[in-house]
Every structure is written in C-alpha cells, then in structure tokens.
Amino acid sequence: MNLLEASVLPVAAEGIYTWAWLMIALPALGAAILLLGGKATDAWGHWLGTLMPIASFAVAAGLFGTMLGADEGERAVDLHLWTWIASGNWTISFGMQIDQLSILFALLITGVGSLIHIYSIGYMAHDDRRRRFFAYLNLFIAAMLTLVLANNYLALFLGWEGVGLASYLLIGFWQHKNSAAVAAKKAFVVNRVGDLGLSMAVFTMLAQFGSSSFVDVNNGAPHLSSTWATLLGFFLLLAACGKSAQVPLQSWLLDAMEGPTPVSALIHAATMVTAGVYLVVRSHAIYEQAPTAQLAVAIVGTVTLLFGAWIGTSKDDIKKVLAGSTMSQIGYMMLAAGLGPIGAAFAIFHLLTHGFFKANMFLGAGSVMHGMNDDVDMRHYGALRKAMPWTFLTFAMGYLAIIGFPFTAGFYSKDHIIEAAFEKSPVFGSLALLGAFVTAFYMTRLMMMTFFGDKRWLPGVHPHESPVSMTGPLVVLATLSIVAGAAMNNWIQDWLAPATGHHPHEASLLHFSGIGLLTMAVVALGVALGWYVFKGTIPSQVPATRNVFAIAGRNDLYGDAFNEAVFMRPGQHLVKGLAAADDQLVDGAVMGGAGAVAGLSTLVRKVQNGYVRSYGLTMVGGALLVGAILILGRMA
C-alpha cells in the first residue's frame, strides 16, 4: 500500500520533462501542416508525416532513458501545461502525467506508429490521396498520445474522442467504397455508446471528487461509497468495451477492416483498441473499491477472448481473422486487468507484446494483399511462402508469438495471464486455456491457408515480394515479436508496480509451472489439429456446412443481428411513431389552428362590405353598447 501511495504523488516536471509536450505537439503540427497545406504539400507530405512520429519517438525515448536513471520515487512526473477550464469552483488544468505506465504506451505508440508510417510510404504509394492519409495518421498519433499522457480524465477524454475521429476518418479513407463509408459510420456510432460511459464516469468523478485528475481520483477512491465506486467501475467498463471492441460493443471492429491495412495495424490492433485496457488499469484504484465491477471486467474479457477466437476460426477474410484475434487478445488483457493487481502488469505486458506481433501480422497481411491485387480471401491464397519469403518469415515470427511458442513474446505475456487467471479462479483459468487452444488452431489455419498448400491464385494474380519500405518495418516488428517478451519479462512487473499496484508473482525466464506446461500442451494440440484439418486441399469456394459453430462464426456470432433486433428495429419503430405523431398531432394542431383563424376571418371579412351606411350602423351600435355599459355600470 505504501508503494501505491507513493505512486499517486508525481513530482513536478523539470529538465527534459518540460519538453514532453513536444511528443503530442509534433504529430499535431504535422497533421495541421498537411491538412492546411493542401496540394502544395503533396510532394513531400509523406516524408513530413513520417518524420513527426519518429521525432516524437526520440522525445519519448529520451524521457524513458531519464526515467530509467531516476530513483523509483521520482519516476512519475506531472507536467502542468495550462489551466483549461476555470469557472466558479471548477479549475481543470491541462497537463501530462509521465509515469511508468504512460511512457511505455508513448514508446509503443510512437515506435510502432513510426514503423507503420514508414510501411505506409510503400503501401499507399499508388494512392493519390496519400498526403491526406499521412495527415490523418499524424492526427491519430497526437490524439492517442493525448489519451495516454493526460493527467486527468477530462483531457484523456479529449484524446479518446480524437482517436475516435481519426479512426472514423481512416476506416472510411476509401470513401468511394460504400462498405468503407458504412463501416466508418458504424465504428463511430458504436463508439458513441462507450463514450457515453466515459462521460458519465467523468461527471461522476467531478461530482464525487471535485476533480478528474488521476491523483485526486486515486486519493479519493478509498473514501468512495461502494455504490458510487461500483457505478463508476461500470461506467469505465462501458467506455472500455466501446473503444476496445469488447462484448457487447464488439460489432464495429470486424467492419473496421474496411480501412487501409496500416490503419488496421496501428489503430485496430496495436494502439487505439487497447485504450480500454489502459483506462481500466489506470483506474485500478476505483476497481479495488468495486469488486463487482472488477469481476465484470474479468467476465467481459473472458467472454470476448472466446468470442473473438470463435470468429477467428470461421472467417476466410485474412484481415477479419486477425480482427477476431485482436478482439480475443484484448479479451485476455481485459481479463488480466479485471484480476486486480496480480494481473494488471501482465495486461500491460501482453498489450505491448501484442502491439508488436499483431502489428507485425497485420502489416504482413497487408504485404500479402499488396502482392495479391488487394484480394483478402484466404481461399485464393496458398503456397505464398516461396513467392514472398520475407513476408512469410516475419509473419511466422508473429504466429509463433501469438500462439505462445516457448521463449517468444506471447509465451511470456499470455502464459502469465493464464497463470494469474488460475490463481484467481479455475473457471477463468480454464476458459483462458481454452482460448489459447482455439488461438493456436485458427492461427495455424491462417498460416496453412495463406503460406502452405496448393496455389489457389485467381487468374492474372502474380504474387511478388513487397518493397523494402514495407519489409523493413516487418523485420523490426518480427524481431520484437520474438525478443520483447524475454526482454521485459523480469523487469516489467517491478517497473509498473507503482502505477498498477504491487503483487509479487513468479515470473522467471525459464520457469515452467504446471500450468505453463499444460498451456504448451494445449497449444501444441491446437497447432496439430489446425495442421491436420487444413493440410489437405482447400476448396476455393466457401463449403456449405451444417456445423452450427461454423455458421455462427461466419455470421460474427450474430452480433449485428442482435443489435438490429434489439436496438435498431425498436429504434426505427419509435422514430416512425414519433414522425407520425409529429405529422398528425403537432402539425394537425398547428394547421388546424391556422385553418380555424382563416375561416373565422373569412366570416368577419364579410362585415367590411364597403357600404358607408353599414359602417355607420356598426359605429352607432358600438356607441350604444358603450353607453349601455356605462349606464348599467352606474346603476349597479
């Protein structure tokens, strides 16, 4: 508990830390120049766009180095930038909190972001709106850094909405395709539901603590009534579900694959979709006061990890398999975050390794699509390992990492989560183990269908290796997919302890616990099953099946059907009813009133007939009336 309390009092920024704002400002400036500069920047826009995240990465690396050298008590730094809102009793400042947690995120975002920018130079080379693409990517980097570096929930919300906007712009980047435009809209609308949760959470914090800064919230949380803590936990969980595509707000992520592949790698695999995990880990003080909400986080994570894996087994679109896999892996992170202090550090650990290997695989998928004339159907692939050796090798590293092959990144991060889940409850543990089995199965299926077996290429497709600007980042990410786990394994738990809560947990490099061995056996079983089922000829048409599991998986487990039946149709009926009420009741009253006045005036108009004598009679009648009233009034 002492460590916890030490963590919530960051020291004031000085020295290099006072330049931390550059991390956000540089990409934001890049986006502004590229968007405002218009066509004048077409020629060099992508170079500027790539330079900005690299510069941000340099700043982040400098800060990280400084932080490594500092004492543990002085690592968390608060940088006040300006007073954002000052109104009455409210003073909300805009500042950055650079601590052990946020600096890792900053490194991941700018590091993987830079690699993806470099990759995009090659990938988007033939797109005449490339400059705009880089502007949006820079906007995304700036917003994402605001999200993770903010020192209060309101500034975090600003970044949260910023990444939502960037995600919308980039999913719908090929706006000439109706499917892309619809997918962008869907992502935006589903995210609004989660945003509602976050805004309710911020309102609750402002009402309960009078402040939304992490320091005040962490200090105030222990004094919160259990009702409010639980409510707050559920609000934050709703927000996390929306942004991280967790059940029940998962439906947008599969459609989001309509965006260009670097976008899927950066936003919908490595960074933005993990913002929900960040939010939950950052709010650990609240979840400690709300065991119910914490349990709900773990349940949501477990359900999603199975849900995503199930979808991954049934899709033929390579990007949708990876999207299902992303959902599933984020499910693992949410599960870990919901386990409390024993899992929180591993949630971040898995988040980082997942950021590497999933970005690697998405970019690999993009490289495959690049060679296959943008075909995404794995039934048209096959035998690509010879045509695209670099892509194959790098993809294989990502594959080994995600299934948890010994000593790769996923082996360390995922097995820790499974062990921690078993420590919490055998139910979570065995379900996480089942997820590992399914993961091994569907990833083997993807490898077999894409890189092995017979050529099933469509006529006119000549697969070729991608340019160096694309394979270079793949090699870097593939290397990280292998070594990042071992590199961070012994270190990350102690490093993150001040930010996530401390819990000693055996995490040695060569430690093989019973559960670890069991996991390896299960994974081997999944790989063997995947190899056995998909080693033969793969039909190039989707085979008809009566298997209810396959049918449900192909239909995204009916997430869209559920949303349509439960939310969309009743909503449409309500709106139709309201429109009818407007047409008939409101318009009826207004038009009826107008008609009555018009009819009355037609009648009254007849009095004005142009005959002077009739006017005179009216006057006399009026005068008599007034006289009569006066006389009667006098008498009364």
Nearer to another protein, 617 or 629 (CB): 617
Nearer to another protein, 533 or 630 (CB): 630
Query: What values do phi and psi take at 294, rounded to 5?
Result: -65, -40
Give the pair of three-digit tokens for residue 519: 């996991």
- The b-or-e profile of 511-535 (16+ CB within 10 A means b, else e) is eeeebbebbbebbeebbebbeeebe
Least distance from C-beta 592 to another protein, angstroms?
25
Least distance from C-beta 612 to another protein, angstroms?
5
Nearer to another protein, 581 or 624 (CB): 624
Residue span binding another protein (CB under 8 A) among the ranges 93-101, 108-116, 432-440, 613-621: 613-621
Least distance from C-beta 616 to another protein, angstroms?
6
Least distance from C-beta 621 to another protein, angstroms?
10
Select the residue interacting with another protein from 15, 374, 598, 611 (CB under 8 A): 611
User: Judged by CB under 8 A, does residue 609 bind another protein?
Assistant: yes
Nearer to another protein, 83 or 608 (CB): 608
Nearer to another protein, 565 or 617 (CB): 617
Least distance from C-beta 626 to another protein, angstroms?
15
Q: Which of 36, 98, 92 lies closest to 62 in space, CA to CA?
A: 98
What would the 3-class secondary structure string for 336-397 be? HHHCCHHHHHHHHHHHHHHHHHHHHHHHHHHHHHHHCCCCCEHHHCCCHHHHCHHHHHHHHH
Least distance from C-beta 602 to another protein, angstroms?
11
Nearer to another protein, 572 or 618 (CB): 618
Nearer to another protein, 461 or 624 (CB): 624
Least distance from C-beta 591 to another protein, angstroms?
24
Query: Which residues 6+ apart lie within 8 Å of 1 measured at CB?
Result: none
Which helix (H) or strand (E) is 82 found in, with range?
strand 77-87
Distance CA 47, CA 49 (A): 5
Least distance from C-beta 608 to another protein, angstroms?
5
Phi-psi region of 15 (alpha: psi -120 to 50; beta: other; left: phi over 0): left
Nearer to another protein, 490 or 608 (CB): 608
Least distance from C-beta 620 to another protein, angstroms?
6
Nearer to another protein, 36 or 617 (CB): 617
Nearer to another protein, 40 or 624 (CB): 624
Select the residue interacting with another protein from 613, 632, 633, 636 (CB under 8 A): 613
Which helix (H) or strand (E) is 281 found in, with range?
helix 275-282
Nearer to another protein, 1 or 607 (CB): 607
Residue given tokens 């059907």 in the structure block: 561
Query: Which residues 6+ apart lie within 8 Å of 592 measured at CB?
Result: none
Least distance from C-beta 573 to another protein, angstroms?
50
Which helix (H) or strand (E) is 94 found in, with range?
strand 90-98
Least distance from C-beta 574 to another protein, angstroms?
48
Count of chain residues binding another protein (CB under 8 A) = 11
Nearer to another protein, 571 or 599 (CB): 599
Q: Parallel, antiparallel, or unpaired: how do β-strands 77-87 and 11-12 relate?
A: parallel
Nearer to another protein, 87 or 609 (CB): 609
Residue span binding another protein (CB under 8 A) among the ranges 214-222, 257-265, 394-402, 607-615: 607-615
CA dihedral of 173, 178, 184, 189, whole degrees rounded to 10: 160
Select the residue interacting with another protein from 15, 514, 539, 610 (CB under 8 A): 610
Partners of residue 152 on adjacent β-strands = 213
User: Judged by CB under 8 A, does residue 462 bind another protein?
Assistant: no
User: Judged by CB under 8 A, does residue 608 bind another protein?
Assistant: yes
Contact 364, 371 (CB under 8 A): no
Starting at the earlier edge strand, list the strands of the sheet with 90-98. 11-12, 77-87, 90-98
C-alpha distances in angstroms, 435 versus 82, 417, 461, 608?
46, 12, 36, 89
Least distance from C-beta 635 to another protein, angstroms?
19
**Which 293-312 positions form the footprint of another protein (CB under 8 A)?**
none
Select the residue interacting with another protein from 207, 598, 612, 635 (CB under 8 A): 612
Distance CA 552, CA 560 (A): 12
User: Judged by CB under 8 A, does residue 82 bind another protein?
Assistant: no
Least distance from C-beta 632 to another protein, angstroms?
19
Nearer to another protein, 508 or 609 (CB): 609
Residue span binding another protein (CB under 8 A) among the ranges 45-53, 270-278, 416-424, 602-610: 602-610
Q: How many C-beta atoms lie closer than 10 Å to residue 145's C-beta?
A: 32
Helix (H/G/I), strand (E/B), else coil: 24: helix
| Burial tier of 116 (Cβ tally within 10 Å: 0-12, 13-18, 19+) | buried
Select the residue interacting with another protein from 73, 389, 616, 627 (CB under 8 A): 616
Select the residue interacting with another protein from 80, 535, 615, 630 (CB under 8 A): 615
Query: Which residues 6+ apart lie within 8 Å of 533 measured at CB?
Result: 445
CA dihedral of 337, 338, 339, 341, whole degrees rounded to 10: 50
User: Judged by CB under 8 A, does residue 617 bind another protein?
Assistant: yes
Residue span binding another protein (CB under 8 A) among the ranges 90-98, 250-258, 486-494, 614-622: 614-622
Query: What values do phi and psi take at 498, rounded to 5?
Result: -65, -30
Kindly report whether the peptide bond that precedes residue 248 is cis, defined as omega within 30 degrees of 0: yes
C-alpha distances in angstroms, 99 versus 57, 134, 314, 347?
16, 29, 41, 17
Contact 370, 440 (CB under 8 A): no
Binding to another protein by CB under 8 A, coded x per residue (else -) over 561-600, reads ----------------------------------------
Least distance from C-beta 161 to another protein, angstroms?
60
Least distance from C-beta 606 to another protein, angstroms?
10
Contact 481, 361 (CB under 8 A): no
Q: How many C-beta atoms lie closer than 10 Å to residue 427's C-beta?
A: 13
Nearer to another protein, 532 or 615 (CB): 615
Least distance from C-beta 614 to another protein, angstroms?
9
Residue span binding another protein (CB under 8 A) among the ranges 87-95, 161-169, 280-288, 606-614: 606-614
Query: What values do phi and psi take at 79, rounded to 5?
Result: -115, 110
**Which 226-265 positions form the footprint of another protein (CB under 8 A)?**
none
For binding to another protein (CB under 8 A), which residues are involved?
605, 608-613, 615-617, 620
